[in-house]
């Protein structure tokens, strides 16, 4: 399970098995101000993997970025976080981008901690997304190829917060099924129906053999020479990104995050594959007809 968490930049699947102990601080009425050190269970998880994470104290400028990002969240996210976000934390020397963890409470209220790698506070969405996407491919023998994500100049933290906050909303409202076992065959929700067979198994019509070989499906990198064909295949499927194919949790979080970035914040989102400055393929998920059919499931985020 640790391997899955570290392979993927963001992965909610792992957090199902992690139950953080609640810090003793009094919760602030505004979610953006619930900034505490990460639960000890999160620190311990990374230390046991041979890493040395440390708590990151926000500067005044970083606090301003956090406040701005929370203000940009959709209405439903803001309402759900007010009642279900226990805390947010920032770490230095953290191997992945973010981790959403359930927090034990004295009653049945679902509460969550979100821990972020502090470095994303100083990256743009385009910079962060390009680095993440590039990890899907091996370019060691084909230096002329390049993967670039054009997603505007907003703070990467805004996009990552939106992604992780969508996991919290999903966990509370169960927009996707939340089975106890990852291999369980459960009744689909409207969002997962005809797209997902199991939590991390797409239906046959939603994928193909090449996409099943990509990093967020099997953990391996493909030669970058295959990138144009990978995105060509993806452009004919209902997923907003390669990462969205990791599980139905990530599918929802990626779709909502990219939708909000492009449709509500007027930013671009396109993955471009180039070789020696020549564009080979351009993947724009929000123009994909199969992806657009799923926009109707996002309306609830804006009706609260």
Instruction: Please write the tens of the pLDDT for every residue from 33-80.
Output: 999 999 999 999 999 989 999 999 999 999 999 999 999 999 999 999
Share of the chain above pLDDT 70, in %: 91
pLDDT given at position 268:
98
Q: Does 9 score more than 60 pLDDT?
A: no
pLDDT tens per residue across span 223-263:
999 999 999 999 999 999 999 999 999 999 999 999 999 99
pLDDT score of 13: 35
Q: What pTM, to 2 d.p., does this model score?
A: 0.91
Residues paired with 196 in a beta bridge:
202
What value does the mean pLDDT of the chain take?
91
Integer CA distances (angstroms), 57 to 3, 22, 92, 100, 185, in order: 28, 19, 9, 19, 43
pLDDT confidence tier of residue 4, bands split at 50, 70 and 90: very low
Quote the pLDDT of residue 304.
61
pLDDT of residue 278: 96
Mean pLDDT of 273-291: 96
* Residue 19: band (very low, low, confident or very high) from pLDDT cuts 50, 70, 90: low
């Amino acid at each position: 399970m640790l391997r899955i968490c570290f392979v993927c930049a963001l992965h909610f699947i792992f957090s199902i098995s992690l139950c953080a102990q609640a810090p003793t601080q009094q919760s602030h009425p505004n979610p953006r101000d619930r900034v505490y050190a990460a639960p000890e269970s999160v620190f311990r998880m990374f230390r046991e993997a041979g890493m040395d994470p440390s708590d990151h104290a926000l500067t005044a400028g970083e606090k301003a970025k956090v406040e701005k990002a929370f203000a940009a969240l959709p209405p439903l996210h803001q309402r759900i976080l007010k009642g279900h976000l226990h805390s947010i934390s920032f770490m230095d020397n953290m191997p992945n981008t973010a981790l959403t963890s359930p927090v034990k409470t004295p009653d049945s209220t679902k509460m969550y901690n979100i821990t972020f790698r502090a470095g994303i506070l100083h990256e743009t969405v385009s910079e962060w997304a390009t680095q993440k996407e590039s990890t899907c491919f091996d370019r060691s023998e084909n230096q002329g190829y390049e993967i670039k994500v054009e997603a505007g100049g907003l703070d990467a933290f805004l996009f990552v917060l939106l992604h992780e906050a969508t996991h919290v909303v999903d966990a509370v409202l169960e927009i996707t099924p939340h089975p106890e076992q990852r291999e369980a065959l459960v009744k689909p929700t409207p969002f997962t129906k005809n797209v997902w067979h199991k939590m991390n198994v797409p239906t046959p019509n939603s994928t193909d053999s090449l996409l099943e070989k990509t990093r967020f499906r099997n953990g391996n990198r493909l030669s970058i020479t295959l990138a144009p064909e990978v995105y060509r295949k993806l452009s004919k499927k209902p997923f907003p990104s390669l990462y969205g194919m990791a599980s139905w949790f990530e599918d929802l979080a990626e779709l909502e995050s990219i939708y909000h970035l492009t449709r509500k914040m007027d930013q671009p989102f396109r993955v471009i594959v180039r070789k020696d400055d020549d564009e080979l393929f351009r993947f724009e998920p929000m123009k994909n007809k199969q992806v657009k059919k799923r926009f109707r499931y996002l309306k609830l985020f804006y009706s609260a």
